[in-house]
Chain A
């Protein structure tokens, strides 16, 4: 089967995407498929039209590939593709939108406020910031609404650190959210089809937060998979993850990031197309479920070609 592997693109996560893509291509070859690596650029449509692949494996992360843009083109060209559809990708990529959907569906997610850059520039939103302290408390987390891999995510320990954190977050997107910081264990649940895979726990070394560096550097963060959780905890966590996956309309596969706080799990975000690199969490979870990376890739392809198989 001819499989176009879409990777790279212009996103800030280009490097990660190239690594994900390369790994998928290896697996496809070993599975006896014919991978066609495509670094997504202005020639994407031309390449896809010329190659006529049976299916596209989307291994792009961040805006451009994980937000539904590439998926829209694939739909127009009539090429089946892996992972969630256009609308779900759009919802997952925009954290503010995603949190609204989650809250609407009754999925627990930390309290937040969202601001557009124009609100600060033109509407005096700074005066509304004083309400944050009582509504969210400190520390709080400042995030760009669209973006991945913890880029531009800053923690503000006090009121004085908020402006600087906002300046950083607005470097990545013109919409940011300020979110209540929830203390707890950092967990990730990958969902394949409609099945949750074993829970992965990220245990940052030296008290580091699980940031961009920690995500992609071997040895910086320890992972436990399956995470040591009680049966009730596992149930609560996977339940919340599945509810989030469904609320956002995901299909194929995705990864839900949560915090397990004292009073239960809180969903932080859903990654429509999680990383597939050597240090990524989805492959680790699949491994724990007894699936090799090839098994995982094959299953993802199946789900793309026969959505009913989910």
Chain B
């Protein structure tokens, strides 16, 4: 591949770097990166089956619809669509958002909504609004890997609460809040992905949802509910979002069009009580003035056709099938010592291996076999946690690739299990073999969540 010339910045010398180093903000020293980033760079090789990404499948979006809508925008409102827009977003976009939230039973006041550049910006703006250096943020363990760098860049102290099959353990949250109380500290907010959590795939139970909302109200602390996957439910009964249970007093809601339409349009939103929203709008103004006008026009056109739910249903069908294939492959190819979650929706499965396996190193081994996943460590702020777990994505690649990818990872794991057995004399090698599916393994414990096969949808 020939690279275009002159695309790089002027070269810097070592002494220049020293000079820059003196200028870097304190927060850059806590931004995370490198080893993982370098490993992840290799996962982009075309021959690699990547179960590492979090990519929704955009291949089935009808190109004709896309072309027709963009053409209509160009013909009928080119000047407006190419112009800046209001910082809060267009009222028409907010109408679409209200419709999407309505599909999950929420009824936000349109004035409480701001359109953002993806859900990621919504998280960033919430942090920008609420966090001073040293403030405490509470989130799930594991948590959304993309949230960790945001918390870190605002120099927050991240406290993670273990999850089990029913999501964040609220009794542990209460204990942590009490401990922080004792230290005279109060977290600014609790960040949670309650439905089909990224990366764990677990869903917060109704009882815990109620308890979490109650706690927030009692203690007057905010809950940031990040709900990108709520509508991607493959089975079971939908649960009310925290926002609905709370009525929007102590819950800031973060939503996105990424998983129900397209991540490429970079459209998300936040819903917050008016005083908080006022600050978020100011923050947004400072960040990027407004969200892309063009893509907001596209969403408006798309929703006007009234078929967005059909498309979401078609995605659910695809993802359900892929989840089934992945779970089936895990049963077939992962050794008995491994456990994993079996999500009722979303995009991810979280697998946990015996504690002597470091999934960062396993990734290096897996890459030799041209397959990739996200090492669990990415989902923790604290170094060393999650090192035997991995996130596996089933939305971004087809069934055959999922099967082959899991087979390869399973082989790599089996080799490590066997080697460890040979090293320690623990010859408890369980070669990968098909295992019967559902069986009751007893009470779900802290991560690893549950034995393979338990509690299926």
Contact = CB atoms under 8 A, between A and B. Distances in A.
Interface of A: 10, 12-16, 18, 22-23, 25-27, 30, 37, 39, 117, 120-121, 124, 126, 129, 151-152, 162-164, 166-172, 212-213, 216-219, 278-279, 283-284, 287, 292-293
A163 B424 contact: yes
Contact of A27 (B11, B15, B358, B362): B11
A96 B8 CA distance: 39
Interface of A is mostly: helix
Nearest to A51: B2
B21 interface: yes
Contact of A152 (B33, B357, B361): B361
Contacts of B367: 12
Nearest to A39: B1
7 contacts: A12-B38, A12-B39, A14-B42, A126-B424, A152-B361, A164-B356, A213-B35
Contacts of B418: 121
B352 to A, nearest CB: 16
Contact of A171 (B10, B34, B365, B423): B365
B129 interface: no
B14 A283 contact: yes
Interface in B14-48: 14-15, 17, 21, 24, 28-29, 33-35, 37-39, 41-42, 45
Contacts of A121: 418-419, 422
B13 A293 contact: yes
Which residue, A23, A167, A171, has most C-beta atoms of chain B within 10 A? A171
A129 B422 CA distance: 12
A260 to B, nearest CB: 23
A172 B366 CA distance: 10
Interface of B: 1, 3, 8, 10-15, 17, 21, 24, 28-29, 33-35, 37-39, 41-42, 45, 356-358, 361-362, 364-365, 367, 416, 418-420, 422-425
A53 B160 CA distance: 55
B17 A171 contact: no
Q: Which 3 A-B pairs have the closest CB atoms?
A: A15-B38, A26-B11, A171-B365
A163 to B, nearest CB: 4
Given A15-B38, A217-B33, A287-B14, A170 B419 contact: yes
B431 to A, nearest CB: 14
Contacts of A284: 14
B10 A26 contact: yes
B28 to A, nearest CB: 8
Contacts, number: 108
Given A26-B8, A121-B422, A216-B34, A168 B14 contact: no
Contacts of B28: 219
A89 B25 CA distance: 40
Contact of B364 (A22, A171, A279): A171
Nearest to B362: A171
A167 B423 contact: yes
A7 B39 CA distance: 16
A78 B362 CA distance: 39
A167 B8 contact: no
Nearest to B12: A278
Contact of A278 (B3, B10, B14, B39): B14
A86 to B, nearest CB: 23
Nearest to A123: B422
B42 A172 contact: no
Contacts of B34: 212-213, 216-217
Contacts of A39: 1, 3
A60 B419 CA distance: 31
Given A126-B422, A163-B356, A167-B356, A287 B13 contact: yes
B166 to A, nearest CB: 31
A166 B367 CA distance: 18
Nearest to B48: A10
Contacts of B8: 22, 25-26
Contacts of A278: 12, 14, 17
A126 B17 contact: no
B31 to A, nearest CB: 9
B35 A14 contact: no
B35 A212 contact: yes
Contacts of A124: 422
Contacts of A152: 361, 364
A292 B16 CA distance: 12
A209 to B, nearest CB: 13
A48 B160 CA distance: 52
A121 B418 CA distance: 8
A22 B1 CA distance: 15
B408 to A, nearest CB: 14
Contacts of A171: 358, 361-362, 364-365, 416
Contacts of A293: 11, 13-14
B13 A120 contact: no
A243 B45 CA distance: 40
Which residue, A12, A26, A283, has most C-beta atoms of chain B within 10 A? A12
Contacts of A13: 38
Contacts of A163: 356, 420, 423-424
Nearest to A22: B8
B422 A15 contact: no
Given A27-B11, A39-B1, A218-B21, A172 B365 contact: yes
Contacts of B21: 218-219
Contacts of B419: 117, 120-121, 166-167, 170
B20 to A, nearest CB: 8
Given A126-B424, A167-B420, A170-B365, 15 more contacts: A10-B42, A13-B38, A14-B41, A15-B42, A25-B8, A120-B422, A164-B358, A166-B423, A167-B357, A171-B362, A212-B35, A213-B33, A216-B35, A217-B33, A219-B24
A219 B39 CA distance: 21
Nearest to B422: A120
Given A126-B425, A152-B361, A168-B358, A12 B42 contact: yes
Nearest to A122: B422
Nearest to A278: B17
Contacts of B12: 278
Nearest to B4: A37
Contacts of A164: 356, 358, 420
A124 B422 CA distance: 7
A120 B11 contact: no
Contacts of A279: 17
A18 B10 CA distance: 16
A99 B15 CA distance: 35
A166 B34 CA distance: 23
A271 B152 CA distance: 34
Nearest to A287: B14
Nearest to A63: B368
A167 to B, nearest CB: 5
